[in-house]
Amino acid sequence: MLAVDRRSFLGTSIPGLAAALVGPALVRAGAPSAQRPDTLFLTWQRDPTTTITVQWIGTQSEVPDVYVSKWGATGAAWSATHASVRPFPLTNLRVFRVEVTGLLPDTEYQFRIGTQPATYRFRTMPVKATDTFSFVSGGDCGVNAHAAVVNALAAKQDPRFVVIGGDLAYDNGSSPESVLGFLRSYNRHMTDSAGRLVPMLACVGNHEVAGGYSRSRADAPLFLSLFDGLFRDTSYAALDFGDYLSLVLLDTGHVSAIGGDQTDWLRKVLSERADRPHLIVANHVPAYPSYRAPDGSDGTGADNRKYWCPLFERYGVDAVLEHHDHTFKRTHPLTGGLRNRYGVPYLGDGSWGQLRAPNSPEKRPYLAAVGQAYHMTVHRLEGEQRYHIAMEEGGKLADAYSTCGKRPAKKG
């Protein structure tokens, strides 16, 4: 267990904050502001060191350019990139997307949309991990007051990006209002202490898909209207951050089967990245659930353990971020489901905005720590060291865990 300096992770208080931040539990759909799109967020489709993708949902009849320049550079030129546009499903709104390429690594930029006077800031990721940095993960958000408080808490940690492991808005493939509410809350809160927007990555969960499991891309129209830049042909992807971090985003049987093509792809991807200083996987349904029974069909993790966990162990995955059960959990490092100092830890279980009571470690021996609390996790990378700090919505530390160096891995 790692002793953490509590002061280095800024908290937030709950009383009165939820109402002030988010208002009603579900934000009603409507036209975004003509001056500041209230659904604006950043993400990536490829290299986070040299690109950024700007997205928002709106009603503009004209497709605008996005103008980008270096932040703080006197006389810096503004370069323009034309937005692409597509329908936002089940509405008369549209999704606007601009991928800006050719940026410099670890550099601050500003941008504006069309003729709007508002400007926004962001920074690209570094090519080499020369400095300590953090990112935040969690899942099962929704658009309630608890999710808004955790949004604000996450932003106060100054993360470089956020990973949401499925069930972002609970739209079930059919509720654009829920997606709009989620994006408005994210847009309202997810700015760091320097005023920079915090990019978001996501993987698909059962509540992004009509029917939940074993469906098609057509059954996840709202999620894919926003994230098909990364998930172009499949519902799983890998994203490499310079020479120090690879993040693998998986689909736990919602659009793509766990076995078969996805497992073949995963074997190749992990084999190619086994020597990465930090190799982290994120998916929705947990291999080692803290609430649900671990044996059964969809949503229990049985196929994860059959097809994926042996690959995580073989290729030295440093941590798996899982969700779906609406608790806080951390497993022991596991090999074949048993405690092993060289095994893989499984973190999370998805209680950003949803909550259940977990089973105890006495009932589930693979569990090292559990809790019934809304939470997100700060992942702090310092050279070869990884710190995973789970924080409850009130700012209390739920758990702190650290690992260092690479687990033994076998290539091939």
**Residue 224: inside a domain:** yes
d(CA 54, CA 213): 30
Closest residue by Cα to residue 31 from 83, 82, 85, 91: 91
Overall domain count for the chain: 1
What CATH number is given to the structural domain containing 199? 3.60.21.10
Write the DSSP assignment of 322-379 as a string of letters.
E-SSSSEEEEPPEETTEE-TTSB-EEE---SS---PPPPTTTSTTEEEEE-S-EEEEE
Other beta carbons within 10 Å of 15: 7
pTM of the model: 0.90
Closest residue by Cα to residue 258 from 291, 294, 285: 285
**Residue 135: inside a domain:** yes
**Residue 49: inside a domain:** no
**Residue 148: inside a domain:** yes
d(CA 260, CA 243): 29
**Residue 109: inside a domain:** no
Alpha-carbon separation of residue 365 from 287, 305, 332, 345, 352 (angstroms): 14, 16, 9, 13, 24
**Residue 204: inside a domain:** yes
Rg, C-alpha atoms of the chain: 20
In which element (H, E) is residue 70 found? strand 65-70
What is the CA angle 361-362-363, rounded to 5?
Answer: 90
pLDDT (tens digit, 0 to 9) for every residue of the chain, 412 residues total?
333 333 343 343 333 333 333 333 222 233 334 457 999 999 999 999 999 999 999 997 778 999 999 998 888 899 999 999 999 999 999 999 999 999 999 999 999 999 999 999 999 999 988 778 899 999 999 999 999 999 999 999 999 999 999 999 999 999 999 999 999 999 999 999 999 999 999 999 999 999 999 999 999 999 999 999 999 999 999 999 999 999 999 999 999 999 999 999 999 999 999 999 999 999 999 999 999 998 877 889 999 999 999 999 999 999 999 999 999 999 999 999 999 999 999 999 999 999 999 999 999 999 999 999 999 999 999 999 999 999 999 999 999 999 988 766 664 5
- Which parts of 100-220 fold into alpha helices (H)? 145-156, 176-189
In which element (H, E) is residue 96 found? strand 94-100
Res 61: pLDDT: 77
d(CA 241, CA 115): 33
d(CA 300, CA 297): 6
Chain center to CA of 382? 20
> What is the total residue count of the chain?
412
**Residue 105: inside a domain:** no
d(CA 70, CA 123): 9
Res 132: pLDDT: 86
Which structural domain range is residue 157 located in? Answer: 131-404
**Residue 14: inside a domain:** no
Structure tokens at 391: 């924080």
